[in-house]
Chains A and B, each alone.
Chain A
Amino acid sequence: MTGAVLVVLACAAAAFVLAPLWRPGGLPAWEAERERLLAARDAAYRALREVELDRETGKLGDADYAALRARYRAEAAAVLRRLDALALSGASVRGRGQSDAPGLRAEDHPTPQQAAPEQRPDGASARVERRI
């Protein structure tokens, strides 16, 4: 009885584990460059938000604040521009491309079909609502 159970278990496990070998295929596509840019963009946004909060709570002087803010805004702008260029080029395979940290919702990842309608005269990356 136990022997039969063991044999069944062993076969089931083998079947389950070896099944994928008959379906060659890729892992979901993942663009290193895009993910890196998204992470850089998040870092710049986070830094900007912190600079604002630090300024308001008095930890940052005016001169430092102005300098840092300009720097982070330039960084963010550069990253956004590179992201737009990447979306425009459209040659690379698009995957689901979620963000790094678990639990984040992917709100704004344009797929190839959506990239065109997002092109507006003032730039592709118009967003809404600043949140502090």
Chain B
Amino acid sequence: MADLGRFALLGALVLALYALVASVAGARARRPEVVRSAARALVAVAFLEGLAAVVLWVALGTRDYSFAYVVSHVRDDQSLLYDLTSFWGGMEGSLLLWVLLLSGYTLAALRIVGRARPPLLPGLVAVFAGTSAFFLFMLTFVTPPFVTSPFPPADGRGMNPLLLNPWMAIHPPTLYFGFVGMTAPFAIVVASLASGPAGDAGVLLARRWMLWAWYCLSMGLMFGAKWSYVVLGWGGYWAWDPVENAALMPWLVATAFLHSVMIQERREMLTRWNVVLVILAFGLSIFGTFLTRSGVLSSVHSFTESSLGAFFLGFLALALLIAFGLAAWRWDALRGRNELDATLSRESAFLLNNVLFLAVAFSVFLGTVFPVVSAVLTGRAINVGPPFFDHIVVPFAFGILLLMGIGPLMAWRRASEQHLLRHLEGPAIAAVLIGAALIVAGVRAPGAVLAFALCGFVAATIAIEFAAGVGVRRAHRGEGPVRALVRLVARNRRRYGGYVVHLGVLLLFCGITGSSVFATERVATLAPGASVAVGEYRVRFDGLSQSTRGDALAITAGLRVFEGTRDLGPFVVRRNLYLTGDATTDVALRSTPRDDLYVILAGWTQDGRATLRLLVNPLVSWIWAGGLVLTLGAVIAMIPERRLVFEASPALRGAWSAGE
């Protein structure tokens, strides 16, 4: 069976290379049948990759320990579900998942985009084939998943228990949908650049694909943060770890793109800039894949030193060279048709948005590669930790927040100052009121007050946008408010979906501010019966107990939580010690909209005392809620718009004859 898997991957590699060569040759020789053959090769590649995946899944599911990969990730006592999800738990499997998802995107893009704009087909095939070929090369020669041994052990090692968690099961695939998804807009743009001089460089066509990849990345980031918070047990959800940054960077660039593409849609400007953004997003996603696998940057995730990194960098360099080369070749033809009309306009707001997002992306990039850069430049590796990132990102985040409130209030082309100021009055007053209320309530941290006030400001502007839109519909058609709201959102999905996404981001901001600025921590060693106060809560330690859960020795601390005089019930925190020497923590988490009570069992003594680490993290649940709202907004925005139709053609005729 391993032979089948190996052959499938090798065959896929051969076919991918064929597709690459045939698509380019067929396009240049103007032989469409060769291009069609190349497209079919990619279909066959998808099939063969699926076959290899089935082989691996069957091996994992049947616990076939002749496979080295199965030995490292599966154990007899492990639940079948985690056996199967360990497919992407290791290097080889994760690369196989990457290439499988890439094939999925390939088939979808070839069908949809190939039909919408047939001249792009050769370029699409070439880009997807080239990328697939690289990963297939890695899977065939560098990190093969089907290494077998003739003497299979009796039992496998299983995965690290930290990974045996539902969040960790869905976090990689979701993230990969995002990472791999960046290839589709890249392919569309590169194919457009290669196939014809002018036009929109495929950017407008690529928009929807980028939106989808952006959404998947957003969810991947959320799931990763949730896993970090709930499973890793250090009390936080984001550590500016290189692996986290690897996913954040393409997300920032994609966000910038989603805004600037609207300028290109309305005004046929910034085509060149958007092309650069798409290429950059793809480059960062490959770079991110590289970061999490090479040993270049130490993080809590990977210390592996392997030649893998060199291959990835080589591929990245080649891809960027070709893409930017094509862009340079077409540079003049992509010149925008229009220019900025006014300093104060929605265009300039979106431009500013782009600058801010890219500044943040650049800073994150700089901080992430700092050890390598400084080692090269000064001979000594210097590491910059979370303070570096916080110091830079927070001010820019405030700027972005402010822009999020002002931008939607501006009209395209030219925003009139008086109208703008008139619209800003209400939200500004709301912001001041919120700030004052917070200060009166005893909040002293200026950053937090500013953050909440700004969030209030933006929320007010969004609310006004909805209200104004509903008002318009009611005035025109006399609809009831609910019906008007539904119709408004349904008819302007992109705009109002975007507003809902902004609302989600606001919740995120509030959650991050609350938990960063107002978190309370206490570490205490307690004897049974003793209590410790943290924040508004009092936690009483009732005693330690020991049990076996599965294949782990579980040390459980029974707790009881009180708030004032109210008994909030029992609370359990646990440490699981596995025979392999691993340990995991079952965090005691009590989540309310106001705050999270978060307790970890840090240690214990022979005489039954427990060391507890207690945290009260305000507003953390707002972060997860923000993720849900963001999903709602993204779904609304992604529903395709129907073909616009317009009346009054006689009037238009009149307009044209007047304009002649």
Contacts and interface: CB of A to CB of B under 8 A. Distances in A.
Interface of A: 2, 5-6, 9-10, 13, 16-30, 32, 35-36, 39, 42-43, 45-51, 53-54, 56-61, 64, 68, 70, 73-74, 76-78, 80-81, 95-96, 98-108, 122-123, 125-132
Given A32-B196, A76-B652, A77-B652, A46 B640 contact: no
A45 B646 contact: yes
B407 to A, nearest CB: 11
Nearest to B43: A16
B419 interface: yes
A106 B266 contact: no
Contacts of A105: 642-643
A54 B44 contact: no
A56 B472 contact: yes
A18 B38 CA distance: 9
B419 A61 contact: yes
Most buried by B among A104, A130, A132: A132
Contacts of A50: 266, 412
Q: Is chain B's binding surface mostly helix, strand, loop or mixed?
A: helix
Given A48-B646, A59-B419, A21 B33 contact: yes
A122 B649 contact: yes
Contact of B41 (A17, A32, A42): A17
A64 B648 CA distance: 22
A57 B475 CA distance: 11
12 contacts: A39-B200, A53-B472, A58-B468, A59-B415, A59-B423, A74-B655, A100-B117, A101-B640, A103-B208, A125-B652, A127-B647, A129-B647
B643 A100 contact: no
B629 interface: no
A121 to B, nearest CB: 10
B409 interface: yes
A73 B652 contact: yes
A48 B645 CA distance: 12
Nearest to A127: B645
The 5 closest A-B CB pairs, nearest first, are: A103-B640, A77-B656, A57-B468, A56-B472, A20-B36
Contact of B643 (A27, A49, A68, A99): A99
B48 A13 contact: yes
Given A2-B4, A21-B33, A57-B469, A78 B18 contact: no
A107 to B, nearest CB: 5
Contacts of B644: 42, 45-46, 49, 131
A80 B652 contact: yes
Given A60-B411, A101-B116, A101-B204, 6 more contacts: A17-B44, A21-B37, A46-B265, A46-B644, A64-B416, A132-B491
Contact of B7 (A6, A27, A46): A6
A20 to B, nearest CB: 4
Contacts of A101: 116, 204-205, 207-208, 640-641
